[in-house]
A and B are shown apart, each in its own frame.
Chain A
Amino acid sequence: MLYDLLIEPFADFGFMRRALVASLALSVGGSAIGVFLILRRMSLMGDALAHSLLPGAALGFLLGGLSLPAMSLGGFVAGVATALISGVIARFSSMREDASFAAAYLTAMALGVLIVSLRGSAVDLMNILFGAILAVDETALALVASTATLTLVGLAAIYRPLVVECFNPGFLAAMGIRGSVYHYLFLALAVLNMVAGFQALGTLMALGLILLPAVAASFWAREVWSMTLVAAPMAFASALIGLLVSFHVGLPSGPVIVLFASLFFLGSLLLGSRASVRARLSHPVHLRG
Chain B
Amino acid sequence: MNAALRLVNLTVSYDRHPAVHHLSAEIPAAEMTAIVGPNGAGKSTLLKALLGLAPHIEGRIETTAKRIAYLPQQAEIDRSFPISVFDTVLLGRWSRFGGFGAAKHVDIHDAQHAIEAVGLAGFERRPIDTLSVGQFQRVLFARLLLQDADLVLLDEPFAAIDSKTVNDLMAVIQRWRAEQRTVIAVLHDLDQVRRDFPNALLLARELVDAGPTARVLSAENLLRARAMAEAWDEHADACDVPMKLSA
When distances are taken between beta carbons in the complex, the residues of chain B under 8 Å from A168 are: 72, 76-78
With most chain B CB atoms within 10 A of its CB, the pick from A158, A163, A174 is: A174
Chain B proximity of A123: nearest CB distance (Å)? 44
Inside 8 A of A222's CB, which chain B residues have their CB? Answer: 82, 127
Q: At the interface, yes or no: A54 with Cβ under 8 Å from chain B?
A: no
Stretch among B56-64, B94-102, B163-171, B212-220 lining the A interface: B94-102
A59 to B68, CA, bound (A): 51
From A161, A166, A175, contact of B78 by CB (8 A): A166
Q: Shortest beta-carbon distance, A47 to chain B, in Å?
A: 21
A173 within 8 A of B: yes
**Which residues of chain A from 155 to 187 have a CB within 8 Å of any chain B CB?**
157-158, 160-161, 163-164, 166-171, 173-177
- Chain B residues, Cβ within 8 Å of A158: 99
Residue A12 at the chain B interface, CB threshold 8 Å? no
Q: Say if the beta carbon of A223 comes within 8 Å of chain B.
A: yes
In the assembled complex, the CB of A32 is this many whole angstroms from the nearest CB of chain B, namely: 14
Give Cα A221 to B76, complex, Å.
25
| CB 8 Å contact bits of B83-108 with A (1 = contact, 0 = none) | 11000000100110001100000000
Total chain B interface residues with beta-carbon distance under 8 A = 19
B82 touches A170 (CB 8 A): no
A163 touches B70 (CB 8 A): no
- Smallest Cβ distance from A36 to chain B, in angstroms? 11
CB of B232 within 8 A of chain A? no
CA distance A164 to B77 in the complex (A): 10
Residues of chain A contacted by B99 (CB below 8 angstroms)? 158, 160-161, 177
Chain B residues near A175 (CB-CB < 8 A): 94-95
User: Does A39 count as interface, using CB distance less than 8 angstroms?
Assistant: yes
Given the complex of chains A and B, what is the CA–CA distance between A135 and B106 in angstroms? 55
B79 and chain A: residue at smallest CB distance: A167
| CA gap between A176 and B77 in the complex, in Å | 17
Instruction: List, in ascending order, chain B residues with CB within 8 A of A161's CB.
Output: 99
For residue B72, which residues in chain A have a CB less than 8 angstroms away from its CB?
Answer: 168, 170-171
Distance to closest chain B CB from A128 (angstroms): 36
* Assembled-state Cα–Cα distance A176/B76 (Å): 17
Chain A 132-167 against B: per-residue CB contact (8 Å), 1 yes, 0 no? 000000000000000000000000011011011011
Tell me if B100 and A166 are in contact (CB < 8 A). Answer: no
**B77 and A167: CB pair below 8 A?**
yes
Query: Interface residues of A toward B: which range?
Result: 20 to 34
Q: Would you call B161 an interface residue if the criterion is a C-beta within 8 Å of the partner chain's C-beta atoms? A: no
B190 at the interface (CB under 8 A from A): no
**Chain B hits for A95, CB < 8 A:** none
A35-B36 Cα distance, complex, nearest whole Å: 42
Q: Which residues in A have their C-beta under 8 angstroms from that of B51? A: 173-174
Contacts of B82 in A (CB 8 A): 39, 221-224, 227
From A173, A175, A176, residue with most partner B Cβ within 10 Å = A175
Cross-interface CB contact of A223 among B68, B76, B78, B83, cutoff 8 Å: B83
Enumerate chain A residues within 8 angstroms of B68, measured Cβ to Cβ. 174
Which of A161, A167, A173 has its CB near the most chain B CB atoms (within 10 A)? Answer: A167
Q: In the complex, what residue of chain B is closest to A176 when comparing beta carbons? A: B52
Give A55-89 as 1s and 0s: 1 = Cβ < 8 Å from B's Cβ atoms. 00000000000000000000000000000000000
B83 touches A167 (CB 8 A): yes
Tell me, in angstroms, the Cα distance from A157 to B100 when the chains sit together.
7
Contact A164-B70, Cβ < 8 Å, known A173-B51, A223-B84, A227-B82: no
A39 contacts B100, CB within 8 Å? no
The CA-CA distance from A171 to B155 in the complex, in Å, is 13
A173 touches B53 (CB 8 A): yes
Closest CB-CB distance, A43 to chain B, in whole Å? 14
Query: In the docked arrangement, what's the CA distance between A183 and B225, Å?
Result: 41
The answer to whether A170 touches B78 (Cβ under 8 A) is no
User: A160's contact among B70, B78, B81, B100, by CB below 8 Å, is which?
Assistant: B100
Nearest chain-A residue to B92 (Cβ)?
A171
The 21 listed contacts between A and B (C-beta, < 8 Å) are A157-B100, A158-B99, A160-B100, A161-B99, A163-B83, A167-B81, A167-B83, A168-B77, A169-B76, A170-B53, A170-B76, A171-B70, A171-B91, A173-B51, A174-B70, A175-B95, A222-B82, A223-B82, A223-B83, A223-B84, A224-B82
Q: Which 10 pairs of residues, A with B, have the shortest CB-CB distance?
A: A167-B81, A161-B99, A167-B78, A174-B70, A170-B72, A222-B82, A168-B77, A170-B76, A223-B82, A175-B94
> Beyond A166-B81, A168-B77, A176-B52: 16 further Cβ-contacts under 8 Å?
A157-B100, A160-B99, A160-B100, A161-B99, A166-B78, A167-B81, A167-B83, A168-B78, A169-B76, A171-B91, A173-B53, A174-B53, A223-B82, A223-B84, A223-B127, A227-B82
